[in-house]
Amino acid sequence: GTAYRLYTNTGLYSMNQKYDEATNTNTFYLIKTDCDTATQQKLAEIELQGGEACGMAAWDDIVELYCFENMDKDNPTEWCYIVDTSTGSVERLPVEEEFYPAWYDDAALYEMDYASGKRIIRRDRTTNEVSYINLPEQTINVYGAGDKWVIHRIVSPSPLPSNVDGDEYNAVFQNSEYEYDLFDAATGEMKKLYSYPTSGDFYWYCGQRDGTLYFGQGYPTGVDKLENGEMVQVLALDDPYTSEQMLENEQGELQWIVLDEGESVQVYDLNDGQSYRPAFVNESSQYASTGYPEMLLPGGKVFVTHGSMDAPDFLDKIAYATQDRAAYLSGSTDYTPVTMYTGK
């Protein structure tokens, strides 16, 4: 995905921003966290009138940040900033067609064209050339899964009518199925993974581990894995209001299921099938917390929240720390706080 915190083999890259209401100016800061020394440094500062960030990608030393300018105007301009983190150079390229990168690989960035629902927009990293990859009819979502894509679509006895609120649509929809397929964009080959009635429980793709695909189920009632064409429950959720987050390692393999229960956090470790309750403090009055796991780092570390930083102008004021994963799961509070870049 293109979250605003991405790890490559050269470090952890993130984006923060400030907004000046008087001049309607957004300033975006590209920041590198050195997880070995637990320090941050600013790599680039981008100032845009009426600015809005819409995507980020990172490969080794290269980070791309996609931003709009003049979002409050009729025809906003989109830019791609290419930052070479090893030299500090920043190149700015215009983006001709509106593009919100959703995921990427070594060769290109991709966006689902929701307007048509029938294709993926592919932007080549080297040439910036835009091409299109056609999808099956009635595709509702696409997810990156290693070097292939997981497609979620509706398979119906007849094409779904365009009016989603009508009785005719409901009649067709109720006799349809949701289907998950594995799609190889390089060859166009597609293999059915699983289907289920539209009237039953809903499944959404969570990620993969050792080639096995994992899915959230219900609203939510648990996490399942797909084995031999069947959904097998991995973890049941007692409280449907508990939010869940899946954490991967740097190879994109699922490791932890994190359950946010408000005043406490539970971590289900897929490596040993055990649940843990790490130390966690929710400072709701400060809109902050200490001990919430945000991502897994190489070398057996975890990146956790660590209160807030003194940076009143920054949009994101969360401070972070690193910790050994095993110590974290055992309830230790022996954090290594990150020296945060505060814009000063």
41-76 confidence digits (pLDDT tens): 999 999 999 999 999 999 999 999 999 999 888 889
**Following DSSP, what letter does each residue of 269-284 receive, concatenated?**
ETTTTEEE----EEEG
Is the pLDDT assigned to residue 137 strictly greater than 90?
A: no
pLDDT score, position 1: 42
d(CA 334, CA 330): 11
Going by pLDDT thresholds of 50, 70 and 90, the confidence category of residue 162 is: confident
The count of other CB atoms within 10 Å of the CB of residue 77 is 14
Give, for 174, the enclosing helix (H) or strand (E). helix 167-174
Q: Among the listed ranges 34-43, 199-208, 233-242, which one has the minimum average pLDDT value? A: 233-242
Q: How many residues does the chain have?
A: 344
Strand (E) positions, 76-189?
A: 77-84, 89-94, 103-104, 108-112, 119-124, 130-134, 139-145, 148-155, 177-183
pLDDT score, position 147: 77
pTM over 0.85: yes
Q: What residues form DSSP beta bridges with 32?
A: 13, 41
d(CA 25, CA 72): 11
